[in-house]
Amino acid sequence: MDRIYLDYAATTYVKDEVLEAMKPYYKEHFGNPSSMYESGRYAKNALDQARGEVAKCIGAKYANEIYFTACGTESDNWALKGVMEANKAKGKHLVTTAVEHHAIMDTAGYLEKNGYDVTVLPVDEYGMVTARQVKDALRDDTVLVSVVYANNEVGTINPIAEIGKVTREAGVLFHTDAVQAAGHLPLDVQADNVDLLSISAHKFYGPKGIGMLYIRNGVKIERFMHGGAQERKRRAGTENVPEIIGLAKALALATGTLEETNSRLTGLRDYMIREIMEKIPYTKLNGHPEKRLCNNVNISLEFIEAEASLLSLDLAGIECSSGSACASGSLESSHVLLAMGIPPETAKGALRFTMGETTTRQQVDYTVNELVRLAERLRKISPLFQQTHA
């Protein structure tokens, strides 16, 4: 049996159509978009088209509001540092949440160390914040609010449109990290009053190492990379044309099949959750039961450390993650699960399965069976379990 990949939130493969769209820009049309002659103009034209395509997919008003970056992490860093630095005259207050990806959390920490004032909003048991909480945190010197669109560990979806309404009414800028949302949820920056939005292609069947930051026209932001005049002088460096083409193609494909994919994966997700909860005792679902990404199953197997489960699953040919990919390998409990009030022992048993295009019901059944077996086996040798269940 082929290996079963259930870690689509960590990264995806590149779709054939995406690879085909990218290929000509490596050799045939390799020109530098800044060059005035024909091959340069050809590349520039492709870049403009990609920008237009991405703008359409996220509901941006203008193509020139789309800035290509090297990854989601760069987009997040730029949004926070760039906006806070450019708006010092207004104030130094940033509002964010306790369940952000490290790309936001660590950037906020860096800003705090450098004299900015950061409010970290707590979340409920599902990992969600409310627009009311955001409203109550706003002050006269608040410059920016940054809230993750959909959490990368537990998949919980935040009320982005409601938060956007609050921030727009208060005249405060709003950034959302939509790295996990893109390709799964319809994005509409205008309808949701979002001023800045980050995405990353390798989460929706595009290439790794290419991201995008939407910056609404009129938002004051410092340039991120100093150098040439690329990206309207805001992000210098020769554009990664093939990967930009890949990002646009992948996003367009995902946007076009969003409803269909969403309904198939939601069915599979709920089936897997039901099966696990029915067949394995002492199991907890982490994250919101409904307001969660269509492909995310995050469960804690009590009395079992996630590392032991991951090893057993790997031996059985199943690839998944404990907490977020970036946290796997470290023994620390996930900051997201702890912020949700989950006890550290339960957080340490958390496993994240994220499904994708190739996931089938048979794969889910096989995985659940393996989970049942490993839970029985590992609990038998768990002193804690034996003590409490003797």
352 binds ligand PLP (CB under 6 A): no
Of 125, 133, 201, 135, residue with least CA distance to 156: 125
Nearer to ligand PLP, 21 or 327 (CB): 327
* Amino acid sitting at position 373: R
CB of 203 to ligand PLP, least distance (A): 7
CB of 239 to ligand PLP, least distance (A): 17
CB of 154 to ligand PLP, least distance (A): 11
Which residues within the stretch 83-142 sit at the binding site for ligand PLP (CB under 6 A)? 101, 103
> According to CB under 6 A, which one of 7, 177, 302, 370 is a site residue for ligand PLP?
177
Residues 88 and 218 sit within 8 Å (Cβ to Cβ): no
Angle 247-251-252 from CA coordinates, rounded to 5°:
120
> According to CB under 6 A, which one of 96, 180, 333, 363 is a site residue for ligand PLP?
180
CB of 39 to ligand PLP, least distance (A): 29
CB of 29 to ligand PLP, least distance (A): 25
User: What whole-number distance in Å separates Cα of residue 252 and Cα of residue 184?
Assistant: 12
In 262-389, beta strands by DSSP E: 283-285, 296-301, 318-319, 350-354
Rounded to 5 degrees, φ, ψ at 163 are -70, -40
Residues 337 and 347 sit within 8 Å (Cβ to Cβ): yes
Nearer to ligand PLP, 103 or 265 (CB): 103
The residue length of the chain stands at 390
Sequence-separated (6 or more) residues with CB below 8 Å from residue 220? 83, 86, 87
> According to CB under 6 A, which one of 133, 200, 255, 367 is a site residue for ligand PLP?
200
Within a 10 A sphere around the Cβ of 377, how many other Cβ atoms?
13
> Where is 95: in which H helix or E strand?
strand 93-97
CB of 199 to ligand PLP, least distance (A): 9
- Number of helical (H) and strand (E) elements in the chain, helices listed first: 15, 12
CB of 379 to ligand PLP, least distance (A): 31
Nearer to ligand PLP, 71 or 273 (CB): 71
Nearer to ligand PLP, 200 or 300 (CB): 200
Which residues within the stretch 316-345 sit at the binding site for ligand PLP (CB under 6 A)? 325
Sequence-separated (6 or more) residues with CB below 8 Å from residue 7? 319, 320, 321, 325, 352, 353, 354
> According to CB under 6 A, which one of 144, 148, 244, 297 is a site residue for ligand PLP?
148
Which listed range, 36-44, 175-183, 221-229, 367-375, lies at the site for ligand PLP (CB under 6 A)? 175-183
Nearer to ligand PLP, 33 or 207 (CB): 207
Nearer to ligand PLP, 42 or 78 (CB): 78
**Active-site annotation holds for 326:** yes
Beta pairing partners, 177: 148, 198
> According to CB under 6 A, which one of 79, 179, 182, 280 is a site residue for ligand PLP?
179
Sheet containing strand 283-285, strands side by side: 283-285, 296-301, 350-354
Which residues within the stretch 39-78 sit at the binding site for ligand PLP (CB under 6 A)? 71-73, 76
Residue whose beta carbon is closest to ligand PLP:
72
292 binds ligand PLP (CB under 6 A): no
Residues 175 and 146 sit within 8 Å (Cβ to Cβ): yes
* DSSP structure string for 69-91: ES-HHHHHHIIIIIHHHHTTTT-
Which residues within the stretch 205-264 sit at the binding site for ligand PLP (CB under 6 A)? 211
Nearer to ligand PLP, 153 or 275 (CB): 153
152 binds ligand PLP (CB under 6 A): yes
Nearer to ligand PLP, 179 or 375 (CB): 179
In 35-177, which ranges are continuous DSSP H helix? 38-58, 72-77, 83-86, 102-113, 131-137, 160-170
CB of 98 to ligand PLP, least distance (A): 14
Per rule CB under 6 A, count of chain residues that contact ligand PLP: 14
Catalytic residue among 71, 294, 320, 326: 326
Question: Which of the residues are catalytic?
Answer: 326
Q: Which residues bind ligand PLP (CB under 6 A)?
A: 71-73, 76, 101, 103, 148, 152, 177, 179-180, 200, 211, 325
